[in-house]
Each structure stands twice: as structure tokens, then as C-alpha cells.
Structure 1
């Protein structure tokens, strides 16, 4: 058994929405330690989402994130010299972390032709996720498909 349990860091909620999820999104969006730039872009994206949906931006973001969260994932497990992809359910905090990671990566990879700023791209990706489409949702579905395909190895779960 491992000696030390790694401690959970508590993230302070962001100042505008007083929400931990938004703070996580800002931290994940940050490049080169430029937090003010990241927070400005995230807040702009949330304003765009609010203007387009005519609903509360925070609630819309939560719903979009809920659509992105995966239920199953595959984990590699070595048994008798062979590596198996074993489907396992995703635990609470990891669901959130994966969803935010996929959302940010999908927003970054959007083409520059239609959307110019990161705020535009992030807003578009949030709106797509709300409607169960877009790259982040595709990533979730791919993860679920892989887990489904490897269902035969589920008995190796630990």
C-alpha cells in the first residue's frame, strides 16, 4: 500500500460568480500563468452565452458541463504480462476535471475563421455542449464507446 494519501487542494471560488466550477475553468484556461487574461476571456464567454440563450450563464454552463461529464472510462490494467483496457466508472471529481479539460481543449482547437477570440470559441463550445453536440461531447461519446467495446474485460476491475 502507498504511504501517503495525496491531499485535496481546495480551490477558492471566483470573485464574480462566487463559483468553484468557474474558478476551475479559469485555471484550466490559463496559459503561462496569465490568470487575469484567462478570467477576462472566460467572463466574456459567459456573457456571450447569456446574451445568446437569454438564460442565466452559470446555470447554462452547469448544464453544458453535466452533458460533457463521462460515466465510464477505460483504464489500463496489466494481468499476466498482457495489458487490458478495463472499463471503470468515473468517480465524482474526475468527472468534473475531465469535462472541463475536454471543454477547454475543444474550444482551443476550434477554427479561427469563424471565431476570433478564445471567449468566442469557449462560448460556442459551451452552447454546443448544451445542445449535446461539439468536440467535447464527441470526446465523451468516444470514451463511452471504448468502454462499451472493452466490456468483456470488465471482470478484471479492481
Structure 2
């Protein structure tokens, strides 16, 4: 007998990604419950649709570049590399969850709701992480050309 995949129609694609990142030790129901509680907290705090808040938070924390360190001529340089949208979204979700776990006090669902609300307002720790990465990328944009030249010469 073939297994059928469990798919909840109430969850959007980004909410599924979030619940998969929350998931620990195969406890999918617990992950869904945490996410449902945090969506209810968002609803009660903002009096707005929690799906819009989550989408806005993910858009605000999605980076377009990542920083990779490369050794060129005996020196180590941080080199910005462009990310595709799927990779950026997963990185933004990871930053939101890490920031929610680091928040003091309360339960994880309340912290996740507060972090999502803050990220949608562009004030959370996850948003500041994205801004930091983009600032580093802008200051080191000149090293991209050096990296491409040294990469071509090795081939």
C-alpha cells in the first residue's frame, strides 16, 4: 500500500516551510500547533490577517546576497554572491526562527509571533541580520571582480 502525503490545505507554501523548520524529531503535529498558536497570537495582537503579516515578514527578511569568504593572494575577503529567490526565502525563514528562539521569556509560539510582527514592521533581529549582510555586501562589492578573475585563471 502506497503512502499518501499529508497536506493541510490551510497552510500556504511559506507556512509549510516554516513548520518544516520548526519540526523536531518527526513531531509534525507539534510544529503545526506551534505555528497555529503563533498565527492566533498575530491575529489577536494586530487585528489583521496573519497570512499577510507572515508574507510581509518573509519579504522583509529575504536576503538577495550571501557572504562567502575567499582567500585571494594570502588575504581573506568576504565576497557577496547572489542568491536565487528560493534560497533567500529559506534563509530569511531560518533567521526569523533563530531570532524567535533567542528572545527571552514567554513560550516559543509567542516569541515567533512577536518576531514575525517585528519583521513585518522592519524592526526585528532577523531584519537587522538581513541589513547587516547587505551592508557587508555593498562595502565588499569591489572584490567580486577580483574573485571572478582569479577563478578564471585557475581553470
Band of TM-score, shorter chain: 0.7 to 0.9
Between structures 1 and 2, the one with greater helix share: 2
Shift of 1:82: 4.2
Q: Kindly indicate whether the alpha-carbon contact (under 8 Å) linking 2:64 and 2:85 is maintained by their aligned counterparts in 1.
A: no
The correspondence of residues 1-158 of structure 1 with structure 2, limited to 5 A, is: 15-80=8-73, 82-112=75-105, 116-156=106-146, 158=148
More deviation in 43-52 or 70-79?
A: 70-79
Structure showing greater radius of gyration is: 2
Shift of 1:18: 3.4
Inter-partner Cα distance in structure 2 for 1:155 and 1:97: 27
Inter-partner Cα distance in structure 2 for 1:139 and 1:110: 15
SS of residue in 2 equivalent to 1:151: coil
SS of residue in 2 equivalent to 1:146: helix
Q: CA RMSD in A?
A: 1.9
Aligned residues: 144
Inter-partner Cα distance in structure 2 for 1:45 and 1:108: 13
Unaligned segments of structure 2, at least 5 residues: 149-155
**TM-score with structure 1 setting the length:** 0.82
Q: Kindly indicate whether the alpha-carbon contact (under 8 Å) linking 2:61 and 2:119 is maintained by their aligned counterparts in 1.
A: yes
Q: Which runs of 4+ in 1 moved over 6 A?
A: none
**TM-score with structure 2 setting the length:** 0.83
Match in the other structure for 1:5: none
